[in-house]
Amino acid sequence: MTSRIDPQLIPANPNLEWERALWEAGILRIAGIDEAGRGALAGPVAAAAVILPPERSIARELSGVRDSKQMTPSQRESWSKRIQEIALAFGVGMASSKEIDFLRIVPATQLAAQRAIATLTIKPEHLLLDYIFLPDIPLPQTSLIKGDMRSLSIAAASVLAKTSRDALMIELDEQYPGYGLAKHKGYGTAAHRQAIEQLGPSAIHRMSFAPMRS
């Protein structure tokens, strides 16, 4: 699968084009899936699943939802609450740094997504995913390149995954002081790498990732 897409195919804002096509086919319970923390050096990878109501007005009600990387922390927090109010069901799952080291990052991301789906109070009929597949989930799936920029369900999931993981990393900063986890959320900033060099890795660092691996 190519990781590139014609930029002209990416809408200005994520929309309900993919959801509407499924709704019109009678498939109403569609779960958008996305992850956060895949490239971090410490902490878990998180995934969220969001089932939005099959109503076109949702695009207006969630007009500020974007790929979470395009939003400020305050925007993410505000829209996270709104998503949870509007969604028919939502769930978050995580895979720990130890699971990432044991499984490697792609299977661990799939595991986190499976856990998110397992927490849904409504069983989905179809999954919309951002560039991954879940081979162990026996449901129809559509994997979209740049899905969090194209599908509102996936974008909503990206916001919940990001805000949930960020909250956990702030908590972990108290358990593992000195690394600045509350600030960079485990990503490989210069300050984080310097702290690893000075303090050594903690119990939540991914030992299969550089620089810990070496």
In a domain, 209, yes or no: no
Q: Which amino acid is at 1?
A: M
pLDDT in tens, 150-178: 999 999 999 999 999 999 999 999 999 99
Tell me whether residue 57 is in a domain.
yes
The neighbour count for residue 82, using CB atoms within 10 Å, is 15
> 147: domain CATH number?
3.30.420.10
31-36-38-42 Cα dihedral, nearest 10 degrees: -140
Are 35 and 95 spatial neighbours (Cβ–Cβ below 8 Å)?
A: no
- Does 2 fall in a domain? no
Give the Cα separation of 25 and 159 in Å (integer): 27
Average pLDDT score, the chain: 96
Q: pTM above the 0.75 mark?
A: yes
User: pLDDT tens, 112-129?
Assistant: 999 999 999 999 999 999
Q: Does 208 reside within a domain? A: no
Joined together, the tokens standing for residue 109 give 């991301």
DSSP code, position 40: -
Tokens of 191: 């300050």
Residue-number span of the structural domain to which 65 is assigned? 11-199
Q: Do the domain assignments include residue 4? A: no
**Per-residue model confidence (pLDDT) at position 7:** 74
Residue 6 lies in a domain: no
Q: Is the confidence at residue 76, as pLDDT, over 80?
A: yes
Query: What are the pLDDT digits (tens) for 20-45?
Result: 999 999 999 999 999 999 999 999 99
Q: Does residue 119 sit within a domain?
A: yes
Let me know: does 191 contact 206? Beta carbons within 8 Å: no
Within a domain: 105: yes
Residues above pLDDT 70, as percent of the chain: 97
How many structural domains compose the chain?
1
